[in-house]
Amino acid sequence: MIAPTMESTIGAMLTAGKGIVAADESLPTIKKRFADINVPSTEESRRDYREMLFTTPDLNEAISGVILFDETLRQRTKDGVLMPEVLAKQGITVGIKVDKGAVALAQFTGEKVTQGLDGLRERLKEYRELGACFTKWRAVITIGEHIPTRTCIEANAEALAMFAALSQEAGLVPMVEPEVLMDGNHSIGRCEEVTMVTLNGVFAALFEHRVVLEQLLLKTGMVLSGKDCSQQADVPEVAEATVRCLLRSVPAAVPGIVFLSGGQGDEAATQRLNAICRASDVPWKLSFSFGRALQAPALKIWKGSQGNIAAAQAALRHRAQCNGLAVEGKYSEQMESAQIGNIRR
């Protein structure tokens, strides 16, 4: 198979009315998610869960790409088909999380830096051979009393830029993800300020590292009130702050921005996405790349049982379709009560 160009990968990923499933939970994260439903995390249970997700009928109606974890890229379904093939057969673009997680930043209490650059060039070559077309690297920025510091933002921006440059060298589209966490009691204004400073730092580093802006995707959080803030911004405020912040910090040459869900409720994430995507006059395509806000209802129904697969898949399809409509600004709350999985038909 001839590998697609970065431009064609981006075009496919940004297909109108579609978005991306982040199913790239690391081993500790998936263990936590499975603990919530009392399922032990084993190679087999992880295979079963992700096979359930990826074989959802008509998933490709609202999903253009899936981000996998290293293990899944090499895993086969019960019937022996490689997971990337299951997705590629549906026209879904395969991506891979390539960072090795965030660790404490030495001397900077409460802050983290993402690792995984050592040996990355070799891993990328292998990932491409295994069918990946895009890569993801997540940096974590925490808001607190005296944080984030410039040192933390710069260390993470530098790593993101090196990751992005290596990905483009390998012909893989980098999804650059600096996530400003929702945790804390900060105001939406503080989130906007930190997101702007973070994005400025990231784009400065991308420039220094000669990363081609036209060949990457930005994955970012929405601008939100902190989870524990007593005054929660409503949907129009979130949309306004998010669009303003992005217009002030993301160059127009970037082809697309996709949002993470970051621990928001499923329906809240969809409502906010819908309001953001209604913004006209933005130079980039906007879409979603949700993990929890797409998977949570399906995970809860699945519970590790074969008998629950169809219902869990219907729940995933429903969320995917609601978010797909939100990308076009056509979502309404009434759709939540529509018969699951039948919104588009």
List the catalytic residues. Answer: 177, 219
User: Considering beta carbons, is residue 22 or 161 the nearer one to ligand 13P?
Assistant: 22
Minimal distance, residue 307 CB to ligand 13P, in Å? 26
**Residue 291 within binding range of ligand 13P, rule CB under 6 A:** yes
Minimal distance, residue 280 CB to ligand 13P, in Å? 25
Minimal distance, residue 262 CB to ligand 13P, in Å? 4
Residues pairing with 286 in the sheet: 257
Scored b (16 or more CB within 10 A) or e, 230-242 reads eeebeeebbbbbb
Tell me, residue by residue from 227 to 246, as one string, x for binding to ligand 13P by CB under 6 A and - for no binding: --------------------
DSSP 48-59: HHHHHHHT-TTG
- Of 202, 260, 298, 314, which lies in the binding site for ligand 13P, with binding defined by CB under 6 A? 260
**Number of chain positions touching ligand 13P (CB under 6 A):** 10
Encoding tokens for residue 47?
């295979």
- Of 34, 49, 290, 331, which lies in the binding site for ligand 13P, with binding defined by CB under 6 A? 290
> Is residue 19 a contact partner of residue 62, using CB atoms and an 8 Å limit?
yes
- 142/110 Cα distance (integer angstroms): 8
Range in contact with ligand 13P (rule: CB under 6 A) among 31-39, 42-50, 185-193, 258-266 = 258-266
Which ranges constitute the DSSP H helices of the chain? Answer: 6-13, 27-35, 43-54, 70-74, 83-88, 120-129, 150-169, 188-208, 235-249, 266-277, 292-302, 309-327
Residue 289 sits at φ, ψ, to 5 deg, of -140, 70
Minimal distance, residue 46 CB to ligand 13P, in Å? 16
Q: Which residues bind ligand 13P (CB under 6 A)?
A: 22, 138, 177, 260-262, 290-293
